[in-house]
Amino acid sequence: MKIDMRRQLARQPFEVKIRKVGQLIKLSATMKSSRVREEAQMTQPPSRTPDPFQGRVSKASSDPVS
Amino acid sequence: MSDDSPTIPLADVLRAANELVSAGLIEDYALGGALAAIYYVEPFTTYDADIFFVAKDKTLSAGIPGIYASLQSKGWRVEREHLLVNHFPVQFLAASGLTEEAVRNAKRIEYEGVPAKVFRPEYIVAIAASVGRHKDLARIDQMLEQAEIDRTLLDDILTRYSLDLPKP
C-alpha cells in the first residue's frame, strides 16, 4: 500500500480505527476456522458410511428376462 | 461483516481503569502497546490491550491482587496473564522507569466519551526500541513513517535511557 494511503488511514478517528481492528480480528478468526475445516476435510479418512446401494441387486438386473 | 458489535470493548477497559484510579487501587494509567500505536498509525491486527499503571502499592505485588479482585467483581475473567472483558484480553502491567514516565506524560484523550490517557508517540518508539523484538522494530518503522514525532523529545528520551533506534 502506498505511503500516503497509509498515512490517510492513520489520520482516521481512533474509534473508527479500533472498529477496523475489530473487523480484522473477526476476519482473521473466520479465515482461520475455514482453513481448519478445509484441513480437517483433507485429512479425513475415507467415509465408513455403508453405501446404501452396495449389495443391493435391482430387480431389473436380477431378473433380466422380466 | 455486517455485525457492528465491538470486538474490542475499549471503552469498557478505559472505564474500568478510571474506576481503579477513583477507588485508589492505582495512581495513574495509560493505554500502551499496539492499541496505543494504532492511535497514531493505520489500524492493524492485535489481540489484546495493554494498560500500564503506576502502582499505589509500592510493594512487590504492585497491588495486582486488589486490581484483579476489583475487576473480577465486575465480571471480568482471568485467563493466564490476561483479564478478559467481553472475551477480549487485557493486560495490566505495572509501570516503572521508562514506562512510568510514559504514563505520567501520556496524552489525554476521550474514547467514546470516556476520558483516558494514551502513550505519546515518542514513548511508544522508545519503548519499542528498548524491547527490540522483530515486531517492535516494525512498529518503530511504522511510527516514524506515519506518526508526527517530536524528534527533540524522542532524542532526549533515547539519550536518557541509553537507547538507539535500529539503523535503517
Q: Which three cell numbers stand for residue B159?
A: 539519550
Rounded-to-integer distance, Cα B144 and Cα B105, Å: 19
Contacts of B39 in chain A (CB under 8 A): 14, 17
| Mean pLDDT split into 10-residue runs, chain B, 168 residues | 67 97 97 98 95 90 91 94 92 97 98 98 98 96 96 98 91
CA nearest to A4 within chain B? B146
Rounded-to-integer distance, Cα B80 and Cα B68, Å: 12
Q: What is the pLDDT of residue A65?
A: 45
Rounded-to-integer distance, Cα B89 and Cα B103, Å: 20
For chains A and B, count residue pairs whose Cβ atoms are closer than 8 Å. Answer: 61
Interface of A with B (CB under 8 A): 3, 6-7, 9-10, 12, 14-15, 17-28
Q: What is the pLDDT of residue B61?
A: 84
Q: What is the pLDDT of residue A51?
A: 58
Owner of C-alpha cell 481503579 = B20
Name residue B82's beta-bridge partners: B79
Rounded-to-integer distance, Cα B91 and Cα B47, Å: 11
**pLDDT under 70 in chain A at which residues?**
1, 45-66
Rounded-to-integer distance, Cα B60 and Cα B101, Å: 19
Q: What is the ipTM of this complex?
A: 0.88
Q: What is the pLDDT of residue A46?
A: 63
The pTM is what?
0.83
Q: How far is B59 from chain A (nearest CA, A)?
A: 35
Q: What is the pLDDT of residue B151?
A: 98
Q: What value does the CA radius of gyration of chain A take, rounded to a whole number of Å?
A: 28
